[in-house]
Amino acid sequence: MHATHFAIFFITLFSIVNPIGCLPVFVACTHTDPPRVRNVIAIFMGIFIFLGLAIFYLTGTAILHFFEVSLPAFRIAGGIVLLLTGIKMLNTAQSDITHPNAPEHRKSAIKQAASRFQTIFIPLVFPIFVGPGSISTAIILSSQYPDSWATRFGAMSAITVVAGLTIVILLSSTAIKKVLGSLGMEICTRLFGLILVAMAVQFILVGFSNVTHDFITIQHAMNP
């Protein structure tokens, strides 16, 4: 049965994490980094995506309950984080985005990537790749199927493959940056800043829809 569980978990989680759709945002956030540093950041992203999905799958709602945080509140908080990040991307020229003037060339790619990863962990890992959608999906899948070793093996295998494919997809960002060039990246950064703002509003609307028992609905938001 673990093959069936693997297929269900993989298709569902890969669609929610959507590394292909999120790739341009990753490119926009890391395009000023050297290729070797950007590649290490991609590996870090995959590792933390695996950890995030695995932890929320295995613990279910225990973490949120421990901190007395509801999923709608998590959605709204994630939306606010995305909103601030999107606005910053819209208003900040790429020439203004600089890194510390320390002699970065003396550091290894791993140390440089670790330093950069700390600054982009939010919002890239949380809540773009591992956000309310993927977290709630992991929680739902963990409660929807019987708790057995076969189910857990299928689920963890699916999470591993999703994280691995995400790394492979993000590694292609170097080629994308070469094709777009600096002007293309400037345009893409502002464009995807606008998309992040829209995603943020969507997160917030869904969160308020949940806490108001559908008094506010996405249909109303799309059809005023």
Q: What is the mean pLDDT of each run of 10 residues along the chain (224 residues)?
A: 78 86 83 89 95 88 80 80 79 51 61 89 84 80 77 90 94 80 75 79 83 66 44
Q: Which pLDDT does position 187 carry in this prediction?
A: 80
pLDDT of 214 = 63
Please tell me the predicted confidence (pLDDT) of residue 96: 46
pLDDT of residue 102: 43
Task: Assess if residue 101 is contained within a domain.
Answer: no
What contacts 62, CB < 8 A, 6 or more positions away? none
What integer pLDDT is reported at residue 221 of this predicted model? 44
Is residue 196 included in any domain, yes or no?
yes
Q: Does residue 102 lie within any of the structural domains?
A: no
User: Which residue segment(s) compose the domain that 82 sits in?
Assistant: 2-94+108-222
Domain count, the chain: 1
Is position 99 within any domain? Answer: no
